[in-house]
Amino acid sequence: MRRSAAGLGALCAFALISSAALAVGDGESPARAPGQVEKTFLIPAAEGYGVGECLAAGSGSCGQVVADAWCEAQGFAVAGSFGIAAADEYTGAIEQVPAAKTVEPPIRITCKD
């Protein structure tokens, strides 16, 4: 009985390995690279760190360094783009009657792997 259980276990393991190998691909078509992940963060312009001026410009070495550091802190490799967020990119962008107090638009940083 012990040998038949071991043989059955080996047979099951072989079947699992074979089916996994067949599921990978046909061996002729190239494997697809995983898609690049991007995520956009909206940061209040007056967050208190004093880097809003660097990021608001949308270009320059100061902003790129700060945006890259932000992305690295969030687990991404680099910042793809940064700058002031467009009005349609954040909640509260549509004017309401009566008009609310003026608020600076947030800063947008798009991070990617």
Task: Quick: pLDDT tens for 24-54.
Answer: 455 566 655 567 899 999 888 877 666 788 8
Res 89: pLDDT: 81
Q: How far apart are the first and last CA of the chain?
A: 54
Q: Please report, for the chain, the start and end positions of each structural domain, with discontinuous segments joined by +.
A: 38-112
Angle formed at CA 59 by CA 54 and CA 62, multiple of 5 degrees: 40
Q: Which residue has the tokens 């790129």?
A: 64
Res 60: pLDDT: 73
Q: What is the pTM of this model?
A: 0.58
Residues found in the chain: 113
b/e 34-51 (16+ beta carbons within 10 angstroms → b): eeeeeeebebebeeeeeb
Give 46 or 100, the one with higher predicted confidence.
46
